[in-house]
Structure 1
Amino acid sequence: MQTHTDVTIVTGTRPEIIKMAPVYQELKNQNILVRWCHSGQHRELAEQAFEYFKIVPNQMLSRPPASNLSSLLSGLIQQVNDELNQFLPKVVLTHGDTLTTMAGTLTAFLNKIPLIGHVEAGLRSGSMDHPFPEEANRKVVAVMANRHYAPSEHARQNLLHEGKHNRDIVVTGNTVIDAQKYFVPSPPTNINNNILVTVHRRENWDKIETICIALRHILSEFKDYNATVVLHPNPDLTQKICSYLSNHKQISLVKSLSYPELQCTLATSKLVLTDSGGIQEEAPTYGVPVVVLRETTERPEAVNAGVASLSGASNISRIVMSAINMLNITKTITNPYGDGSASRRIVSDLQNLM
């Protein structure tokens, strides 16, 4: 039986849940009928995040069996299509650049959903291979979405260069700052000599040895520092990292941290080494500089502000020098990614359009 809803949020990964949770909360606060459909792309991590944010998704799909990215996308499209056909939303909101983002946007487009909003629109690295397939996903999504919620002026300019109309773009700030503001209102202030390390991007899987050796060099330079290395759920990647870093007295290897655990560790660290987009955005809130283990970033604002450094992941010396430079920063770090009101701006715009 078909029923109607105002807004359907489609997500697939933990970062999407974190960044869409404040949007969902604002929609509920404004008494807008909203459904949350989660594809199960990251099942276990997703359940932890939903529980922390006290959100019960209306539809928790099972990850489709898939041997490669194209078959995964095909399965996601079929599942999301069933959801949209049953509940006939006026608006579909997707976020970011995952395969679920692609599936949700494409399915909404093919079903002629009147309003397709893309949150965190306009991020571009300039390379279709870095990150892969995320850069392609977000470029394709931008073609099909008809409302683009850009987190920054830089992102807006990217969309304009691709031919999007200015009237269809709203600069909102990044909702990840809203999540920190709403759900971590009192972060710890006891700063430790800790370096937080996270590596998960597909293009860095063959560079793990270089990253691990660089970390050991950094710790040999800073003997009063420790490192917390967050292990990836992929068992092969975890095994690689453990083979290089286990039994090092300055290094703690930890399994995936929950959102509050990660925020606590981040807030009390002196430096972050990461290839994560979300952590690049979150760290400046706590005044923590970032070494970005990538050659390019679609989030250049912190690099331009001098509080993040692109080190790549292929050269040990370059990573080490980037870390030393970031640890020696004396300027006050402020977050260039938003003011914590992005969700309010998004929902206000939706109310005007609906």
Structure 2
Amino acid sequence: MHHHRVDLVFGTRPEAIKLAPVAAALHAEGLAVRLVETGQHADLPRAGVGFGALDRRSLGCVTGDDPFAYARACAATYAQTCAARPAMILVQGDTASAYGGALAAGWLGVPLAHVEAGLRSHDRANPWPEEDFRRAIDRMAALHFAPTELAAANLADEGHARSVHVTGNSGVDALKAMLATLPPPQRREDATRRLLVTCHRRENWGRPLGDLAAAIGTLAARHRAIRIDVALHPNPSIAQAWAAALGGTARVRLLEAMSHRDMLLAMRDSDLILSDSGGMQEEAPYLGTPLFILRRRTERPEGIDTGQLKLIGIEREAIVREVTRFLDNADATAAMTSAAEPYGDGRAAPRIAAIIARRLRAATSATPPRQAPPGPS
């Protein structure tokens, strides 16, 4: 069945992490897999994701200020240079690269599969432009791989029920595989509480990030038995904003961007995470580390429902209040470390690959055989 090729279009570190298990599972199903990297994150290798010897090509698209223009440029470059059309195009999540891959599938007349379909915050501004991207991708997709029943219900409400498959999130597959390779936690030598902070979403640039930095400074000044690690994003403007706000602050460390493995170690070994990252919302419950969501809305409420995540916004007073309450209340810590698995069981990739393989086999068998040309009379 190697004549069936599936192109995986992606360009960011989270996409690479979540698509690696899917690529391996598609290959195991006997499908040809081609990785199409847009170039959205220039430092993609930093994620430490291995794809083996799969066929790869790079579009070399350089990011700009307009994510919609970037998506169209990626789609145009891919469509114009695609000498042999794939049997299917697969995208993950809600990035400009994913939207570009979806547009290209439409232009090429190729069926589209969407991994992590159906996530909704029901607020176009939070997160922006991801909420618009994920809705647009789902309108174009022929296969919707929903990570949870809630995501599937969102898709059903929008008229996509017949093409929806609840598979779990492939990010959990990647997480569980990586956890098996991590060394055991180190024994604590003191009572210092460790906080890990990340903030990079576009809607939090400017004043919201300044509020967060001010809250961190206040917490560091009030609590002496605390260490706050701020994991910097590779975006240089965000890193510079953090350095200007908190550089040299006692009990605060600014850490360079980390590989996926090193980030998981930092998350596991922290007492509390404050983050606006969607991927970290999915990973923290499996690590047993409480996470406060630095957003006004989230498209991943399942972890809130299990009590493992808490939505606190990104206003200075609220952050200081919620973190202080957490540090002073041991019962709150225990309540947020349950063993629930809100985003899947870690077997999403083989489910996704099996569904795609069946669809492509069915499409082949349904195609009438070509008639031989008439012989000589």
Same fold (TM over 0.5): yes
**1:99 is aligned to 2:96:** yes
What residue is the counterpart of 1:352 in the other structure?
358
Distance of 1:172 and 1:159 partners within structure 2: 14
What residue is the counterpart of 1:79 in the other structure?
77
SS at 1:273 equivalent: strand
Shift of 1:191: 6.8
What residue is the counterpart of 1:269 in the other structure?
270
What residue is the counterpart of 1:202 in the other structure?
202
What residue is the counterpart of 2:348 in the other structure?
342
| Cα 1:120/1:55, change in 2 over 3 Å | farther
Distance of 2:114 and 2:298 partners within structure 1: 20
| Cα 1:308/1:34, change in 2 over 3 Å | same
Distance of 2:99 and 2:24 partners within structure 1: 23
Alignment counterpart, residue 108 of structure 2, candidates 102, 106, 111: 111
| Cα 1:249/1:91, change in 2 over 3 Å | same
Identity %: 34
Distance of 1:325 and 1:81 partners within structure 2: 53
Shift of 1:87: 2.8
| Cα 1:319/1:55, change in 2 over 3 Å | farther
Distance of 1:150 and 1:51 partners within structure 2: 23
Distance of 1:231 and 1:203 partners within structure 2: 17
Which ranges of structure 2 fall in alignment gaps of 5 or more residues? 361-377
When normalised by structure 1's length, the TM-score is 0.92
What residue is the counterpart of 1:177 in the other structure?
172
Deviations 1:124-158 (A, max 9, x none): 11111111110000001111001100000110111
Distance of 2:291 and 2:144 partners within structure 1: 28
Deviations 1:8-32 (A, max 9, x none): 1110111000000000111122221
Which ranges of structure 1 fall in alignment gaps of 5 or more residues? none
SS at 1:128 equivalent: coil
What residue is the counterpart of 2:364 in the other structure?
none
**1:30-69 → structure 2 map (5 Å cutoff):** 30-44=29-43, 46-49=44-47, 52=50, 54=52, 58-64=56-62, 66-69=64-67
Shift of 1:268: 0.9
Asked whether the 8 Å contact 2:233–2:257 carries over to 1, the reply is yes
Distance of 1:96 and 1:265 partners within structure 2: 24
Asked whether the 8 Å contact 2:72–2:103 carries over to 1, the reply is no
**Cα RMSD, aligned residues only:** 2.0
**1:248 is aligned to 2:244:** no
Distance of 1:146 and 1:112 partners within structure 2: 12
Distance of 1:297 and 1:191 partners within structure 2: 34
**1:223 is aligned to 2:224:** yes
**1:164 is aligned to 2:160:** yes
**1:280 is aligned to 2:281:** yes
Shift of 1:324: 3.7
What residue is the counterpart of 1:333 in the other structure?
338
Deviations 1:240-277 (A, max 9, x none): 21122111221110111011111111111111110000
Q: Report the count of equivalent residues.
A: 347
Asked whether the 8 Å contact 1:96–1:120 carries over to 2, the reply is yes
